[in-house]
Amino acid sequence: MLEHFNFSNKVVIVTGGATGIGAACAEMFAQLGAKLVIASRNMERLSAKAAFIKQQYNTDCLPLECDVRDEAAVQNMVAQTLQHYGRIDVLVNNAGGTHMRPIESIDAARWHRSFAINVDAAFYCTQAVGKFFRQQGGGSIVNISSMAGEKGTLNGAAYSSAKAALQMFTRVCAAEWGPLGIRINCVAPGMILSDIAKEHLTASGIDIEAGIKSFPLQRAGTPEDVAQAVIFLASSAASYITGETICINGGPQLGGNRKES
């Protein structure tokens, strides 16, 4: 069973790989022997994370500055990956972002920005890497969505819509490319307390401790909780799974009363 999680000599691209969920995914793949490309717009953070991964896990990690909202930049990132490693085995479309506003306050520019980072970026990366996967005869893609894409969230019409679109994009791509040996899946994290998420939640006045009381598992999630699901979906242990979205949210939040009546 453990052989399914051996990524030695596998090449993994993680977008948004310098912080949060992306960094946790990159480190976990590195622990399992993968060679890495981590990409984002912040080269300083990327370089620091790549140096840490190389030292800590004794594996190659190539930091590439890339705005994944730019199709040409994405194609260049994939070309540099192939030039450096000669292959790609896994793509994790983790780059994303949100700005919470009520519907009446969302202008067209904010709406389009939400789709650019949460949907367009995954589309560009999937197309660029998918071209190589089709030639190679297989590969695995994992998209990072959100519970907002499953259930929606107040003041998050643009973000929720974009993440729901990403989940449908995952499903359709999986159906089209499955016969070519390419698997595409998605994870939908709930309250995951990365450093950046903590800042946003605190700034929004959200009471984290009160919020987790409604979760069956009675705790917030960690970036590592998400990374473990990503590893599974990317691995051969999930070889018969494609087109699915796995929710990582501490369990279903149901109405009613926990006490006997």
pLDDT in tens, 8-57: 999 999 999 999 999 999 999 999 999 999 999 999 999 999 999 999 99
CA dist., res. 137 & res. 122, Å (int):
21
Average pLDDT over residues 85-110: 94
Residue 210: the pLDDT is 77
Kind of pairing, strands 90-93 and 61-65? unpaired
> What pLDDT is attached to residue 175?
98
SS3 138: coil
Per-residue confidence band for 209, with pLDDT thresholds at 50, 70 and 90: confident
Class (C level, CATH) for 2-188+229-245:
alpha beta
Burial group, residue 215, by CB count within 10 angstroms (0-12, 13-18, 19+) = middle
260 pLDDT band (50/70/90 cuts)?
Answer: low
pLDDT per residue as tens digits for the range 99-128: 888 999 999 999 999 999 999 999 999 999
Give the separation between CA 26 and CA 244, rounded to whole angstroms.
22
Mean pLDDT of 180-185: 98
Mean pLDDT of 201-210: 72
Q: Which residue has the higher pLDDT, 157 or 255?
A: 157
Q: Three-class SS of residue 97?
A: coil
* Exposure string for 142-171, b = 16+ CB within 10 A, e = fewer: bbbbbbbbbeebebbbbbbbbbbbbbebbb
33: Cα within 13 Å, side-chain hemisphere: 10
CA proximity to 188, closest of 172, 165, 205: 165
- Over residues 130-135, the mean pLDDT reads 96
**Encoded amino acid at 160, one letter:** S
Is the whole-model pTM more than 0.75? yes
Lookup: tokens for 255: 């109405």
pLDDT level of residue 218 (50, 70, 90 thresholds): confident
3-state DSSP assignment of residue 79: helix
